[in-house]
Amino acid sequence: MQPTIKDVARQAGVSTATVSRVLNDSGGVCASTRIRVEHAIADLGYHYNAMAGSLKKQQSGLLGHIIPSIVGPVAPILARAAEEEAQKSGFNVILCNSFESAEKEKASVNILLERRVAGILFSAPVSLENVRIVRTRGVPVAIIERRVESADFQYVESDNMKGAYDAVTLLVKLGHRRIALILGPQDSIISNLRQEGYNLALADAGIRPCSDLSAEGNYSRLSGYNAMKQLLAIKDRPTGVFAANDTMAIGAMQAVRHAGLNIPDDISIVGFDDAYAELAIPQLTTVHQPLHEAAVLATKIVIAGADGSYPLQNVLPCTLMERESTGPAPKA
């Protein structure tokens, strides 16, 4: 049996009216009581019908969308797709940048809740606790590009592991055996999934991974450039490179050219995202992740009120786009 507002009130030791004020963010509740109610909501797994509540409160027809940063190739695609889909249902979108900060992300959450938004999208949230805050207020929420297997948040992501697997398998089929990895930050779930795909592809090809063929970046072009310089400095340099995003892949391509080497004759490079890959010289072979589709689906989930119409886990397939930056492995 689903917990009721009375169950929440009983566990928190308050009246149902107090619980209602917390859910509707209508004020008149001290901070300690609010925290006690929010903990009771989370402990019981109480779900408030926020869409019905929004009709009563005559919300402003707004959705919130919190992204790590508008800078970069991925976030603008997600932001535009979400806004276009929201407008089809009569919603406007307030876009917030967290700048990879949990505190700023929480501040954005508070601002959006004060505006009585009908739902909030999180693109690669910094802190799941901030997502929980939204849920305890009874506001529908969906996550884009961050897997959350241990909670009942609805999320939409690309099949990062399979996409990476396909990218590395392409290099294997082209005859490459010394295949390097430029990965993202170690605390990035997406980067970890792409690393898993890399490792699995090597294992299936009977290639033992080498620690000297792995370099860490932070998704920036400069970090890709520096990681590639590190890989070029080893005695038996790689002939193929998989970078965990296109921006680092483009930085790696620059490092290869500055070293006087040719792409793909000397080194083949594959990226992941397919945002600006066709603008690279040579055009970058990459994994196309359905960013537009992911943002559209997440927006539909939020507008539906996270009412169970969609599954908790939504994993969309990626497509390998073979272009000019990959070729046969050079002969020894």
Q: Which two tokens stand for residue 325?
A: 């930056």
Q: Residue 275's pLDDT is what?
A: 84
Looking at residue 17, which CATH number applies to its domain?
A: 1.10.260.40
pLDDT in tens, 34-65: 888 888 887 787 766 544 444 344 455 899 99
Query: Which residue range forms the structural domain that includes residue 239?
Result: 160-290
Determine, yes or no, domain membership for 51.
no
Determine, yes or no, domain membership for 251.
yes
Domain final position from 28, 46, 64: 46
Determine, yes or no, domain membership for 323.
no
Q: Once rounded to an integer, what is the mean pLDDT over residues 300-315? A: 83
pLDDT in tens, 220-233: 999 999 999 999 99
Query: Which amino acid is located at 328 in the chain?
Result: P
Q: Residue 52's pLDDT is what?
A: 46
In the predicted structure, residue 92 carries a pLDDT above the cut 60: yes
Q: What integer best gives the mean pLDDT of the chain?
A: 89
Q: Residue 57's pLDDT is what?
A: 45
Q: Once rounded to an integer, what is the mean pLDDT over residues 295-304? A: 93
Which is nearest to 60 in space by CA: 82, 20, 90? 90
Determine, yes or no, domain membership for 238.
yes
CA distance 306 to 314: 13
Looking at residue 206, which CATH number applies to its domain?
A: 3.40.50.2300
CA distance 148 to 27: 31
Determine, yes or no, domain membership for 200.
yes
CA distance 158 to 155: 10
pLDDT in tens, 146-204: 777 656 778 899 999 999 999 999 999 999 999 999 999 888 888 999 999 999 999 99
Per residue, the 3-state secondary structure of the chain, as one string, reads CCCCHHHHHHHHCCCHHHHHHHHHCCCCCCHHHHHHHHHHHHHHCCCCCHHHHHHHHCCCCEEEEEECCCCCCHHHHHHHHHHHHHHHCCCEEEEEECCCCHHHHHHHHHHHHHCCCCCEEEECCCCHHHHHHHHHCCCCEEEECCCCCCCCCEEEEECHHHHHHHHHHHHHHCCCCCEEEEECCCCCHHHHHHHHHHHHHHHHCCCCCCHHHEEECCCCHHHHHHHHHHHHCCCCCCCEEEECCHHHHHHHHHHHHHCCCCCCCCCEEEEEECCCHHHCCCCCEEEECCHHHHHHHHHHHHHCCCCCCCCCEEEECCEEECCCCCCCCCCC
Determine, yes or no, domain membership for 121.
no
Model's pTM, two decimal places?
0.79
Q: Which two tokens stand for residue 201?
A: 């592809």
Q: Residue 254's pLDDT is what?
A: 98
Structural domains of the chain, count = 2
Determine, yes or no, domain membership for 240.
yes
Determine, yes or no, domain membership for 114.
no
Count how many residues are written for the chain: 332
